[in-house]
Amino acid sequence: MLTDLFTPSVQHWLDIAGIFVFAISGALLGVRKNFDVFGMAVLAEVTALGGGLFRDLVIGAVPPAAFTDLGYFLTPLIATLIVFFLHPEVERITAAVNAFDAAGLGLFCVTGTVKAYGHGLGLTQSATLGLATAVGGGVLRDVLAHEVPSLLRWDRDLYAVPAMAGAALAALLLREDALHGPTIAVPVVTACGLRLLAMHFHWRAPRAWHRRSAAAEEEATRG
């Protein structure tokens, strides 16, 4: 269980931090989509809590943490108010928001993996659910906001891969029984660092081969 890895209060505040930054990204999308303040709050809640809610439903941890811990529920509302009143200022620090989002990604993929493993899932499945915890909220956010999920788009910097790496590393450490207290920082920092590098160097994933060869043919025809 998570409580064996961290002191509960440290774990709790790490979770709150991740929830807060994800909620900011949800509320900002609400502003960009021209939603009202309640729409912003819904997007903030869904982005911040959706991934963990899915994880808890899958492992049978009901009621999910999102509905038992009042802080989890109130944090996105605070994030919504901040974006509502300080929206231009928040937009201006997009780089900072992205860095926080990377931190949230790193944190959620690891805590999701650990929680799933603690509920008896296999290592591969735990890592998968850790990945789903980290990216699920963003997918729900985009679906509700009527956008193509940015997770799926080829023209976005790698997002799933860093989370995958962090979740896989956490699973490996769990298998070696080497994930205690400070070592949990290793997969978190790995995922967060890879995401920051992916944003900085605009790392992209390849699309199916046909597309590229078709484009090459087109160029050859033109030339």
Interface ranges with its own copies (CB under 8 A): 30-31, 33-40, 42-43, 53, 57-60, 62-64, 67-68, 70, 73, 83-85, 87-88, 91, 119-122, 124-125, 128-129, 139, 143-149, 151-154, 160-161, 204-211
- Between 162 and 187, whose beta carbon lies closer to its own copies? 162
Cα angle 183, 186, 191; round to 5: 150
- Between 202 and 211, whose beta carbon lies closer to its own copies? 211
Q: How far is the CB of 47 from its own copies (least distance, A)?
A: 13
Q: How far is the CB of 222 from its own copies (least distance, A)?
A: 21
Q: Is 195 exposed, middle or buried (0-12, 13-18, 19+ CB in 10 A)?
A: buried
Q: How far is the CB of 220 from its own copies (least distance, A)?
A: 17
- Between 12 and 119, whose beta carbon lies closer to its own copies? 119
- Between 50 and 106, whose beta carbon lies closer to its own copies? 50
For the chain, how long is the longest CA-to-CA vector? 64
Q: How far is the CB of 203 from its own copies (least distance, A)?
A: 11
Which residues in 132-171 are b (16+ Cβ under 10 Å) and which e? Answer: bbbbbbbbbbbebbeeebbeeeeebbbbbbbbbbbbbbbb
Instruction: Transcribe 163-187 into DSSP letters.
Output: HHHHHHHHHHHHHTT---GGGGHHH
Element (H, E) at 219: helix 209-222
Q: How far is the CB of 28 from its own copies (least distance, A)?
A: 9
